[in-house]
Every structure is written in C-alpha cells, then in structure tokens.
Amino acid sequence: MASFKITPDLENITEGLSLPGIIAIAVLPLAIPLVARFGKSITKTAIKGGIIVYEKSKGLISGVSEAFEDIVAEAKAELAEPKNVRQIQGR
C-alpha cells in the first residue's frame, strides 16, 4: 500500500535551493516595499505621459479630420455642379 504525505518533502526543496535562492528569500521582504514605492512613481509618470500624448494627438487628429471634411465637402460640391458648368471651368 502506498503512503500518502501531507507535508512537503523538505529534502527535495532544500536541494534545489542554492545560494542565490537563499539570498533572494532573505532580501525579498526588504525589496518589496522599495519596489512598490518607486514602482508607483514610475507608473504615475508613465500615466501622465500617456495623458499628455493623448491630449496632443486629440488636437492633431481634430485638425486632420477638419481638413478631410473640407476636401469631402469640396468634392461633393463639384459633383453637385451641372455637367456643362464643369466642362466650361475645365474640371
């Protein structure tokens, strides 16, 4: 009959743990608050930059949209002119 263990086999866990792993476990509780503090400021800076880019591109897109609408309106006006007037004007 096979035995069933509830607790993990500590020998297998400690064999895979080398010096960098042990150092990481010791330093991790100290590093997490530092990363959280600087990570938050970096994230806020990135969000601010995104907002600025969005606002500037919104104005640029609005200008391009207006120019395109003007071109479409001119084309529609030319199509609405009688054919003989277009021929006289050389269009």
- Which burial class, exposed, middle or buried, applies to 91 when counting CB atoms under 10 A from its CB (0-12, 13-18, 19+)? exposed
Spell out the domain ranges in the chain: 27-89
3-class SS letters over the chain: CCCCCCCCCHHHHHHHCCHHHHHHHHHHHHHHHHHHHHHHHHHHHHHHHHHHHHHHHHHHHHHHHHHHHHHHHHHHHHHHCCHHHHHHHCC
Q: What pLDDT sits at residue 79?
A: 86
Q: What pLDDT sits at residue 6?
A: 63
Q: What pLDDT sits at residue 40?
A: 84
Whether this prediction's pTM lies above 0.75 is answered by no
How many Cα atoms sit within 13 Å of 61 on the Cβ side? Answer: 6
User: Residue 81 and residue 59: Cα distance in Å, rounded?
Assistant: 33
pLDDT, one tens digit for every residue, the chain (91 residues): 556 666 656 555 555 566 677 777 778 788 778 877 888 888 899 999 999 988 888 888 888 888 899 999 999 988 887 776 656 666 5
Q: What pLDDT sits at residue 2?
A: 55
